[in-house]
A and B are shown apart, each in its own frame.
Chain A
Amino acid sequence: MRVTLSEEQDFLREAVAGVVAREASFAAVREWTDAGDVSPADEMARRQGWTGIGLAEEAGGQGGGAIELMVLAEQLGYGAVPWDPTLAGCLALPLLAAAGPAAAELAAAGVDGPGAILVVDGGRPLSFPGAAVADELISLTARHVPGAAAAAHLIVAVDAGDEVELRAVDPGAAGVEIAPLPLVDRTRSSAAVSLDRSPSTALGTVPATALTATASLAAMALAADSLGAAARLLELTVAYVAERRQFGVPVGSFQAVKHAAAQMLVDVEACRSAVSYAAWAVDDGAEDAPLAAAVAKSHAAVATSRVADRALFLHGAIGYTWEHDLQFLFKRVKSDAVLFGSAAAHQDQIATILGV
């Protein structure tokens, strides 16, 4: 049993943390989101090879799997760094790699250039988008598709019983509409996608269980992202209450403040436990991976939101301002809590798995 990162995984964590500190500070995030152009973050991800995590090196990727994606997600959440296109690409990689040569080629191309992303409704646990296919023409609508606006290929998963058929649609093709849905969390890239009898290419098929694994991967990654943001919120809060003085003493010496901070740590560490186990289970293909991912996502959604609320409250009015960096993490946690399924949606999944 080993409940901590391996040396190699820890090295990745340090590397990502270093890049985030140097190239994606809050100042940079503020500049990108103010300008309404977060593409520098996408370029950074590509330069660092993060777009290839989850695709074997011999297939043109960076190797790694769910644990490496967890490491990446946590560090990018820690910095509130925009990365939806990279995330969406990484989620599609294992499916594409398993679906045959044409799909694998798209996967490899996405590592160095704009990627192929799954067209899925980001407002609920990842599942089929409910596409209608007739004569290679696809129709569907999906809201809150992460990373759609920057994608080179739209991948549609079509329910084919025991199998999932993957079809590719060119974003420039007839009937394709991609309408950005700007969120108050400006680090996100959400869009409504509608396909109206759009021409598509069959890429191949994967077993139905492969989409379940992708859903678990997505839930785990979002939980990891919010864990990173929550850990940073705790750090900022501890630093602030130790420094801020009222009544002649640091406010962090007041028991009410200490207790709130201690509960934040409990929440952060519990999320870390949940996310670590889920990442391992997904990576390992363990039988309880869907359960573990739903546990991580449902718990993180509630616990990290609570951390964000306490962090804001303990900062007082300054934390509520546009100028303070807390806003990036606060909003990130709140959108993480819903993207790829709310706590309630994942609790429903847990109940179903338990046979209730």
Chain B
Amino acid sequence: MDFRDAPEDVEFRLEARRALEEIVASLPGEEPATIEAKLPYFRDFQAKLNKAGYAGLSWPREYGGRDATLTEQAIFLEEYDRAGAPDRLNTLGEGLAGPTIIDFGTEEQKARFLPGILAGEEIWCQLFSEPAAGSDLAALEARAERDGDGWRLSGQKVWTSRAQVASYGITLARTGPDRHRGITYFLLPMDAPGVTVRPLRHMLGEAEFNEVFLDDVPVADGLRVGEVDGGWKVAMATLSYERVALATGRVNLRKLLDELVEMVRGSEAAADPAVRRKLAELYARARIQRVNGLRALASLEGGTPGPETSIGKLFSAPLVEDVADFAVSLRGLDAQLEEGELDPWLRLAYQARGTSIAGGTTFIQRNIVAERVLGLPRA
């Protein structure tokens, strides 16, 4: 065992660190809190990242990427956190839509969409979940019907993050009766006639995600990805692309824990043994999360993902909740004030609840671990 970077990775880390520090320092002031205000801030950042050669890190070079190894991707994410770089508003484009187009798209689709993702010009959203198809995605009911050379899409999508700023969405629609082999994958222009985005306010009153209504939306056949009725396979691939981010965690725990330690250090609460111990427990779990990620990555490199990949979300989601809750508890009711800017820890505490539900709920993850890793019998 050796947890130090290999010599070639040391070089990569230092270069990434320098580039990120420079880019972050050049950004105009603090990162805004709302998604609409974040958009220009993010575009500025992404354009600089692209210029420095760090956009599309995992993408092949021929499509403008860097062909980075899994280890380099993990190092980059660590350095990203270390630099305190902004929220990656287009993870759905860069992490999901882009790789899907690269692996399953036509040459026209690649030429049309990949540069806009790398440059941060076009934001993407993911129109998968529906009111009656959440954990059970294959139950989706949105329909695509042939209309001359193209298609007409109708149905309702829900819990769509960033739809209000997205140019395109990856979406699934039913083209046949078979549960899995009757689904087709499309790239949907969000400004097409018949697309209605209705913001859904979450329990803090902010519009983070949306309902998207599709009413006879015309979609050219050139925006179909993969075979007709063959979209399920493409969708499963889409969900697997973010494996490095999933394995290593998407919340900047390092920054959070540093801030938390800083907050307790020197405060009156630091004299309370219960506070000290809770802080230490959270700090320990955050360090363990990092090693979990490194181990998951190593197992991905081996080709056969081990149990360490499956536990990622089950370990990290409650950790983020606990970190945020602890910080909120230190400030008492003041942390729950509604006037002015919301306390960032409070916001995180609520967001973390969302994370436990999104992308496969905690219960679904436990079923997966129990059945596929531990081999327990299906009901």
Interchain CB contact under 8 A, A1 and B273? no
Which of B4, B265, B284 is within 8 Å of A350, CB to CB?
B284
Which of B277, B367, B374 is within 8 Å of A348, CB to CB?
B277
In the complex, B5 has a CB within 8 A of chain A: yes
In the complex, B193 has a CB within 8 A of chain A: no
In the complex, B147 has a CB within 8 A of chain A: no
For window 87-119 of chain B, which residues contact chain A by CB distance below 8 Å? Answer: none
Interchain CB contact under 8 A, B375 and A280? no
Interchain CB contact under 8 A, B1 and A274? no
Give chain A residues whose Cβ lies under 8 Å from the Cβ of B314: 262-263, 266
Interchain CB contact under 8 A, B3 and A1? yes
Q: Which of B273, B285, B308, B370 has the most CB of A within 10 A?
A: B370
Chain A contact residue count (CB 8 A cutoff): 54
Complex: chain A residue closest to B278, CB-CB: A347
In the complex, A69 has a CB within 8 A of chain B: no
Given A3-B291, A274-B284, A281-B3: A253 in contact with B376 (beta carbons within 8 A) = yes
Query: Which of A4-12, A34-42, A199-207, A327-335 is found at the contact surface with chain B?
Result: A4-12
Interchain CB contact under 8 A, A355 and B2? no
Which of A5, A242, A263 is within 8 Å of B366, CB to CB?
A263
Interchain CB contact under 8 A, A356 and B284? no
Give chain B residues whose Cβ lies under 8 Å from the Cβ of A299: 281, 284-285, 288
Give chain A residues whose Cβ lies under 8 Å from the Cβ of B283: 295, 350, 354
Whole-angstrom distance between the Cβ of A236 and the nearest chain B Cβ:
12
Query: Which of B168-176, B236-244, B292-300, B343-351 is found at the contact surface with chain A?
Result: B292-300
In the complex, B167 has a CB within 8 A of chain A: no
User: In the complex the two chains form, what is the Cα distance from A265 to B372 in whole Å?
Assistant: 12
- Supplied contacts A241-B376, A258-B374, A292-B287, 7 more A-B pairs, CB within 8 Å: A4-B1, A258-B367, A265-B307, A295-B284, A295-B288, A298-B281, A354-B279
User: In the complex the two chains form, what is the Cα distance from A139 to B3 in whole Å?
Assistant: 43
Interchain CB contact under 8 A, B265 and A356? yes
In the complex, A57 has a CB within 8 A of chain B: no
For window 284-339 of chain B, which residues contact chain A by CB distance below 8 Å? Answer: 284-285, 287-288, 291-292, 294-295, 298, 307-308, 310-311, 314-315
Give chain B residues whose Cβ lies under 8 Å from the Cβ of A5: 1
In the complex, A209 has a CB within 8 A of chain B: no
| A interface list, Cβ under 8 A from B | 1-6, 9, 67, 238, 241-242, 249-250, 252-255, 257-259, 261-263, 265-266, 269-270, 272-274, 276-277, 279-281, 284, 291-292, 294-295, 298-299, 302, 343-344, 346-351, 354-356
Given A262-B314, A265-B307, A265-B311: A3 in contact with B1 (beta carbons within 8 A) = yes
Complex: chain A residue closest to B261, CB-CB: A354
Given A258-B371, A265-B311, A295-B287: A250 in contact with B377 (beta carbons within 8 A) = yes
Q: Could you tell me the dominant secondary structure of chain B's interface residues?
A: helix
Interchain CB contact under 8 A, B280 and A3? no
Give chain B residues whose Cβ lies under 8 Å from the Cβ of A273: 288, 291-292, 295, 308
User: In the complex the two chains form, what is the Cα distance from A259 to B365 in whole Å?
Assistant: 9
Whole-angstrom distance between the Cβ of B342 and the nearest chain A Cβ:
26
Q: Which of A4, A261, A266, A355 has the most CB of B within 10 A?
A: A266
Q: Between A and B, how many residue pairs show CB distances below 8 Å? A: 167
Q: Would you mind naming 12 contact pairs between A and B with Cβ atoms under 8 Å apart?
A: A1-B6, A252-B376, A253-B379, A262-B367, A265-B369, A273-B291, A277-B3, A280-B1, A294-B284, A298-B284, A347-B284, A356-B279
| B interface list, Cβ under 8 A from A | 1-6, 9, 71, 261, 264-265, 270, 273, 276-277, 279-281, 283-285, 287-288, 291-292, 294-295, 298, 307-308, 310-311, 314-315, 363, 365-367, 369-371, 373-379
User: In the complex the two chains form, what is the Cα distance from A3 to B295 in whole Å?
Assistant: 6
Given A262-B369, A274-B284, A347-B276: A238 in contact with B292 (beta carbons within 8 A) = no
User: In the complex the two chains form, what is the Cα distance from A30 to B332 in whole Å?
Assistant: 53
Complex: chain B residue closest to A291, CB-CB: B287
Interchain CB contact under 8 A, B370 and A261? yes
Interchain CB contact under 8 A, A355 and B265? yes
Which of A3, A250, A253 is within 8 Å of B298, CB to CB?
A3
Whole-angstrom distance between the Cβ of A301 and the nearest chain B Cβ:
11
User: In the complex the two chains form, what is the Cα distance from A280 to B373 in whole Å?
Assistant: 27
Which of B2, B371, B379 is within 8 Å of A2, CB to CB?
B2
Whole-angstrom distance between the Cβ of B249 and the nearest chain A Cβ:
13
User: In the complex the two chains form, what is the Cα distance from A210 to B333 in whole Å?
Assistant: 47
Interchain CB contact under 8 A, B1 and A354? no
User: In the complex the two chains form, what is the Cα distance from A346 to B4 in whole Å?
Assistant: 25
- Ranked 8 nearest A-B pairs via Cβ: A258-B370, A350-B280, A347-B280, A273-B291, A262-B366, A262-B369, A351-B276, A347-B277
Complex: chain B residue closest to A5, CB-CB: B1
Give chain A residues whose Cβ lies under 8 Å from the Cβ of B365: 262
Complex: chain B residue closest to A350, CB-CB: B280
Complex: chain A residue closest to B308, CB-CB: A269
Interchain CB contact under 8 A, A242 and B280? no
Interchain CB contact under 8 A, B5 and A1? yes
Interchain CB contact under 8 A, A2 and B1? yes
Give chain B residues whose Cβ lies under 8 Å from the Cβ of A252: 370, 376-377
User: In the complex the two chains form, what is the Cα distance from A108 to B219 in whole Å?
Assistant: 79
Q: Which of A242, A258, A284 has the most CB of B within 10 A?
A: A258
